[in-house]
Structure 1
Amino acid sequence: MTESTEQPLSERVNNRSQKPNSQAFRTFIADGWGPRPDGLPERSPAADFAAARRATLGRLFPGERLVVPAGQLVRRNNDNDYRFRPHSAFAHLTGLGTDQEPDAVLVLHPLEAAGEARAAGETPEDAPTHEAVLYFRPRAGRDTEEFYADSRYGELWVGARPSLEEVGALTGLRTEHIDSLGDALAKDVGAGQVQLRVVPQSDAAVEARVSAVREQAGLTADAAQADAALAETLSELRLRKDEHEVEQVRAAVAATARGFEDIVRNFPRAVEHPRGERVIEGVFGARAREEGNGLGYETIAAAGNHGNTLHWINNDGAVRPGELVLIDAGVEVDSLYTADVTRTLPVDGVFTPAQRKVYEAVLDAADAAFARAGQPGAKFRDLHAAAMEVLAARLAGWGMLPGTAEESLAPEGQYHRRWMVHGTSHHLGLDVHDCAQARREMYLDADLRPGMIFTIEPGLYFWADDLKVPEELRGIAVRIEDDILVREDGSVENLSAALPRTPDDIEAWMAALRG
């Protein structure tokens, strides 16, 4: 038996390649390139807004070093990575979107002068408290092995990464090489002068570095709670969107509306295909990539009884004449803000009487929630309550509840929730379920405030085998979802109102799109 040379498993993925290593080759491949483009990119429209967000965050954690990683590339299979998307907190605080920048870390370093002023009780409310520095991996030189041989970061493999100067010009941030991060994290920590917080579950390697610094400085007590508090604060900072964020969501909604138009035009092809749901998914996905970064979440294209599975993303079923298709989809634009819209559409372009009956009940519930949102003093939780009042009354009228609507709405009842098990609303922004780590009193129990963007999305879901449902309604699923903005004057705006919502308008819209 021949002994094999020991080779780590991590290196064996390269066994299929023959990498040239001669000095002659390295000299040859580094030579003969033209100059790189002159000039620096323009400052991003998001840069000033991101700076204001960082300033707000810094005032909440005076004297502490805050570490916000973008995250790492993630293996899809073998040596292939998923397309990179930065952590939402990193995108919010830097203004960077799309695939910018794997392995980067934003650090808010406390300013020494600010600490001294605070100790003397002299810090003005708007005085800077931190310096923000972005640590990342800039492009390597053409004379390096990384340039031609690194399939993950090399310029010949994935394109040229930006320079420190280019990212600095784009973001307005001071930039440093990622190799200097370790020393930057440890500065003054050992002396007990600076506390460290890092966003949890964002980048395992960075979190391990922070843990090592803490252990060396004896600062491990309550570290998990400190990091959780940072994540909580970062979520709550996004509850009210600034002007730039609102415009980004508007753009995402507009692109999403065009995607729905594409879907309707392709319904005939979906009907002809054995996996027509995939046709719908693919058509919308093309629009999302053409106009934005991609999908804000996996598209739900649920025909017929599949619509009763709330998160149906297999999308492998047929699209049949006479049925409804529940489509829940959103375009994520390059800034990473997403829309989240649902429309339930008749495959033939016309609702049957039974379908219309269910659809109008859900529409009335959505309209009731929208009306409640516009009332002074409305709380986030009131939206769900308003929708449930309508649905419980309608189900009671159809004889589907064991008692009255009022009995069902009582906490000890809730029978109507058999057919509407999810919530009616969630915040929307960089994440489709945005601000998810905010405290209950800041989210569910909070007053609606200007700048909040959220969904209203009631539904009714009648499984084909649910014997408590009248036979003519079985197999019907309807959800209507719109994206709502609270304006500065407290009124509310349906950002997705351009997509028809009433049965008559939907039928006319579909007929016009089909010519």
Structure 2
Amino acid sequence: MSTSGDSDTIATDTAADAPARPSTSTNRRQPYGGGFLETISTGWAERPELAPPLRAQAPFAAARREKVSAAFPGKRLVVPAGSLKQRSNDTDYPFRAHSAFAHLTGWEADSEPDSVLVFEPLADGGHDATLYFRERADRTTSEFYADASIGEFWIGPRPALGGVAGELGLDTAHIDDFAAGDDDLVVGEDEDLTRFVSELRLVKDSFELAQLRLAVDVTARGFDDVIRELPRVIAHSRGERIVEGVFHQRARSDGNTVGYDTIAASGPHACYLHWTRNDGAVVPGDLILIDAGVEVDSLYTADITRTLPVSGRFTDVQRKVYETVREAADAGFAVARPGVTFRSVHEAAMKVIAARVAEWGLLPVTAEEALDAEHGGHHRRYMVHGTSHHLGIDVHDCAQARREMYYDGVLEPGMVFTIEPGLYFQIDDLTVPEEYRGIGVRIEDDVVVTEDGVENLSGGIPRTADEIEEWMLRVGIS
């Protein structure tokens, strides 16, 4: 987020009137002949002005805007959607609006690049909110046929001001109207607005919870797909890529896309926490750790990890490690409830991890000594990451919230976060017996805080070692 040179204007970190990217394709552009130019604007059927119904999320977005307005009286607030990002030459990455923009407008997967939400302060208090974006060009303009980035001849139908206003319950205007009156807007950073819109998402409303449930349901189907395709996965020299592709197909068919790069980590790759190269073989006898989540059209995403025995059954050592991780996860579930601190979940899980690795003789100290905040931490060698993070419209949601609101914050009903302990014994770690080396296990679930505990949103996906083996047998592995 950002602020202009005018102390009464607060904006996000992407300028709506940023200069367009210079064209690199003029050397292959074909000239338009006179006949084309004379006729291209004629012979088209009338496009009816549709009156779409108000979207389900619109009232929730309006309530969020009211909270922002109340927090910044008299300030002019600017929240851009962001711009297209170049992938290579004149090819862009798929556009995804800034999370704060989507949260405050309700305009999500189908939002337009370079759009801007503006809060104009009113003399008697409060704000008028207007959504500025580039409306579809009239077919009499060259933009319609000549602009490969935004022309409808190239990319298909684009939204009209009136239709978007009706869907979102929000005033709309052409982006040129915003830019013409704000040539002096200078963009810098504003920590207060960034922090506020991040903390605004700590407690989810009923629309957000419904979307997260949907994301989890589609993700569960994606895991089923992967298990069903394991014979093909095993047969390919880069089976991890097949896992990634199978899950991505479900994400694109039943959602918007994946919420983050899928981790398909087989064998010793499972010990690398953010393994997204996914170029390895999937070998019977190994474990495969799959960390994946579907982002639905509202941009809310699941974030779930399951660790599966490629052959369908765990070895004794694999089962021992797996059930220890599940024990740690269950300890986190047991303490999570309103009124306790967010970090309590991590502390409960780590007590189990420390106790078990000490019991196995892997620590040079006792579990109690390892858990000492100042002088301990020896057990973190085998689980270096945290146990939980907030989840929502970002996979690591609310990341700009203050520490006292996040890690040291108190759990409230409606908060959604992950519980995801793990154990990772890297292939060349000489501090562990050889039989453990190359085993990596993580179990990750998505939970919502209720009035007296937490509900496991992903509890329908098998979790125990016995359930995992039955699941694989039932879905596709004999």
* TM-score, reference length from structure 2: 0.93
Q: CA deviation at 1:184?
A: 4.7
Match of 2:18 in 1: none
d(CA) in 2 for partners of 1:362 and 1:11? 53
4+ residue runs over 2 A deviation: 9-12, 24-27, 182-186
- Whether the aligned pair in 1 keeps the contact of 2:49 and 2:163 (CA below 8 Å) is no
Match of 2:416 in 1: 453
1:224-303 matched pairs, under 5 angstroms: 224=189, 227-303=190-266
Match of 2:104 in 1: 93
Match of 2:342 in 1: 380
Aligned counterpart for 2:51 among listed residues 20, 40, 43 = 40
Residue 30 of structure 2 is aligned to residue 18 of structure 1? yes
Match of 2:168 in 1: 171
- Whether the aligned pair in 2 keeps the contact of 1:83 and 1:99 (CA below 8 Å) is no
Q: Structure 1's 330 and 451: CA in aligned 2 closer, same or farther, altered over 3 A? A: same
- Max radius of gyration: which structure? 1
Q: 3-state DSSP class of the match of 1:461?
A: strand
Match of 1:353 in 2: 316
Which deviates more, 24-33 or 140-149?
24-33
Residue 463 of structure 2 is aligned to residue 504 of structure 1? no
Q: 3-state DSSP class of the match of 1:43?
A: coil
Q: 3-state DSSP class of the match of 1:370?
A: helix
Q: CA deviation at 1:19?
A: 3.1
Q: CA deviation at 1:366?
A: 0.2
Q: CA deviation at 1:403?
A: 1.3
d(CA) in 2 for partners of 1:11 and 1:483? 44
d(CA) in 1 for partners of 2:470 and 2:75? 58
2:26 counterpart letter in structure 1? N
- Of structures 1 and 2, the one scoring higher in RCO (CA 8 A, sep 6+) is 2
- Whether the aligned pair in 1 keeps the contact of 2:136 and 2:157 (CA below 8 Å) is yes
- Whether the aligned pair in 1 keeps the contact of 2:24 and 2:90 (CA below 8 Å) is no
Q: CA deviation at 1:490?
A: 3.6
Aligned counterpart for 1:338 among listed residues 275, 291, 301 = 301
Match of 1:55 in 2: 66
Residue 365 of structure 2 is aligned to residue 403 of structure 1? yes
d(CA) in 1 for partners of 2:411 and 2:227? 35
Match of 1:109 in 2: 120
Where structure 2 has 5 or more consecutive residues not aligned to the other structure, the ranges are: 1-20
* TM-score, reference length from structure 1: 0.87
d(CA) in 2 for partners of 1:246 and 1:289? 21
1:384 counterpart letter in structure 2? H
Q: CA deviation at 1:210?
A: 2.5
Identity %: 59
Q: 3-state DSSP class of the match of 2:40?
A: helix
Q: When you count helix as a share of all residues, which structure comes out higher?
A: 1
Match of 2:141 in 1: 144
Match of 2:456 in 1: 494
d(CA) in 1 for partners of 2:300 and 2:257? 11
Match of 1:220 in 2: none
Match of 1:161 in 2: 158
d(CA) in 1 for partners of 2:311 and 2:258? 27
Deviations 1:303-332 (A, max 9, x none): 000001100000000000000000000000
- Whether the aligned pair in 2 keeps the contact of 1:449 and 1:490 (CA below 8 Å) is no
d(CA) in 1 for partners of 2:434 and 2:215? 39
Q: 3-state DSSP class of the match of 1:113?
A: coil
- Whether the aligned pair in 2 keeps the contact of 1:27 and 1:143 (CA below 8 Å) is no
Deviations 1:352-382 (A, max 9, x none): 00000000110000000010103x5211000
Match of 1:219 in 2: none
Aligned counterpart for 1:324 among listed residues 287, 291, 311 = 287
Where structure 1 has 5 or more consecutive residues not aligned to the other structure, the ranges are: 1-8, 115-128, 187-208, 213-222
d(CA) in 1 for partners of 2:180 and 2:452? 48
Match of 1:480 in 2: 443
Deviations 1:160-206 (A, max 9, x none): 211110110111111011001135547xxxxxxxxxxxxxxxxxxxx
